[in-house]
């Protein structure tokens, strides 16, 4: 991938961060840090990899994305709104009565959400079922599944880790968001996972370990995974819970947070400045941003 594409993806990721922060700040509380750690991955998937039709969310031949750590809904909604699945104005309804954007992803409520999740462990299993269905139906498409590291404490996840190699699901990439934190502590304290890549390798997966905040590394790892035949791929992404907003990154317990008006203002300022700086780099280098719904507003 050339530098120009990388910068366009960085810009898209920063837009996703900004809209994600805005949604949660508007509500006043939510799973913001765990949403920010996957912003770069969502930017790469929806900005350059996935074969999708936002105007036809249920197109049978689409690539599928399952946010198994369903509490990262706000990051998914920002991405989907920017891609044009539904109006940007829905973002201000996050988790409010009557909303179509609940705190956790729900496929029956939100256009573009391929699988309901929130009860940790279930999304990966359901996602592998969707990937198997693609194979059975002869659909040449991919399934991307995003799993939390704390989520990997669920036994069901390990059942899924056994299932995918057995079925040779080479249309699947599972991303492990290795931000080292759980709900009320570090993953090491709660139930240590050890070397996830080595464990998955032993289970028969093709594995890679990357910096999950680096759009170039993410893009290259996905391309490498797509060359693998007859076995599923896992990408362990070393990430930071709260990535992009130092104040959130540095909070010790930062799973579900309450945002004071001051914190909201400080966070928005940081993200807006970062976004404006990237916009300037794009302008100076005559780089076309990834098209989003904001272009039409």
Ligand X SMILES: Cc1ncc(C[n+]2csc(CCOP(=O)(O)OP(=O)(O)O)c2C)c(N)n1
Q: Residue 80, class by beta-carbon neighbours within 10 Å (0-12 exposed, 13-18 middle, 19+ buried)?
A: buried
- Nearest distance in Å: CB 272, ligand X: 24
Residue 26 in contact with residue 88, Cβ under 8 Å?
Answer: no
**Strand ranges for the chain from DSSP E:** 29-30, 64-67, 143-148, 172-178, 206-211, 233-238, 257-258
SS3 11: helix
154 in contact with Mg ion (CB under 5 A): no
Report strand pairing: 172-178 vs 233-238. Answer: parallel
Nearer to ligand X among residue 14 and residue 179 (C-beta) = 179
- Nearest distance in Å: CB 22, ligand X: 19
- Nearest distance in Å: CB 176, Mg ion: 9
SS3 percent helix, strand, coil of the chain, rounded to 5, is 50, 10, 40
Nearer to Mg ion among residue 40 and residue 63 (C-beta) = 40
Nearer to ligand X among residue 183 and residue 224 (C-beta) = 183
d(CA 85, CA 245): 27
| Whole-angstrom Cα Rg for the chain | 18
Residue 88 in contact with residue 293, Cβ under 8 Å?
Answer: yes
Nearer to ligand X among residue 11 and residue 175 (C-beta) = 175
CA angle 242, 244, 248 (to 5 degrees): 35
142 in contact with ligand X (CB under 6 A): no
Residues 254-283 that bind ligand X (CB under 6 A): 255
Residues 27-86 that bind ligand X (CB under 6 A): 34, 37, 69, 71
Residues 181-200 that bind Mg ion (CB under 5 A): 181
Stretch that binds ligand X, among 19-27, 50-58, 113-121, 276-284 (CB under 6 A): 113-121
241 in contact with ligand X (CB under 6 A): yes
The residues binding ligand X (CB under 6 A) are 34, 37, 69, 71, 118-121, 148-151, 177, 179, 181-183, 241, 255
The residues binding Mg ion (CB under 5 A) are 148-150, 179, 181
């Amino acid at each position: 991938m050339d530098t120009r594409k990388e910068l366009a993806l960085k810009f898209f990721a920063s837009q996703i961060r900004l809209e994600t922060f805005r949604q949660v700040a508007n509500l006043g509380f939510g799973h913001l840090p765990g949403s920010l750690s996957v912003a770069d991955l969502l930017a790469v998937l929806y900005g350059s990899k996935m074969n999708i039709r936002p105007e036809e969310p249920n197109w049978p031949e689409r690539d599928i994305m399952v946010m198994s750590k369903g509490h990262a809904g706000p990051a998914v909604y920002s991405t989907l709104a920017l891609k044009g699945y539904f109006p940007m104005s829905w973002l201000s309804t996050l988790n409010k009565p009557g909303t179509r954007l609940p705190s956790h992803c729900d496929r029956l409520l939100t256009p573009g959400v391929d699988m309901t999740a929130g009860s940790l462990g279930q999304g990966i299993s359901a996602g592998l079922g969707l990937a198997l269905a693609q194979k059975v139906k002869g659909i040449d498409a991919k399934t991307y599944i995003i799993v939390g590291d704390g989520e990997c404490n669920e036994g069901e996840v390990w059942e899924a880790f056994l299932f995918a190699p057995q079925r040779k699901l080479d249309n699947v990439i599972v991303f492990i968001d290795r931000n080292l934190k759980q709900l009320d502590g570090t993953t090491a304290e709660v139930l240590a996972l050890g070397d996830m890549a080595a464990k998955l390798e032993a289970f028969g997966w093709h594995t890679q370990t990357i910096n999950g905040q680096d759009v170039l590394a993410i893009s290259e790892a996905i391309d490498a995974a797509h060359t693998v035949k007859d076995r599923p791929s896992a990408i362990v992404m070393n990430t930071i819970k709260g990535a992009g907003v130092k104040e959130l990154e540095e909070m010790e317990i930062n799973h579900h947070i309450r945002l004071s008006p001051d914190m909201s203002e400080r966070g928005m300022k940081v993200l807006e400045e970062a976004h404006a700086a990237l916009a300037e780099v794009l302008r100076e280098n005559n780089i076309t941003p990834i098209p989003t719904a904001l272009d039409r507003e």
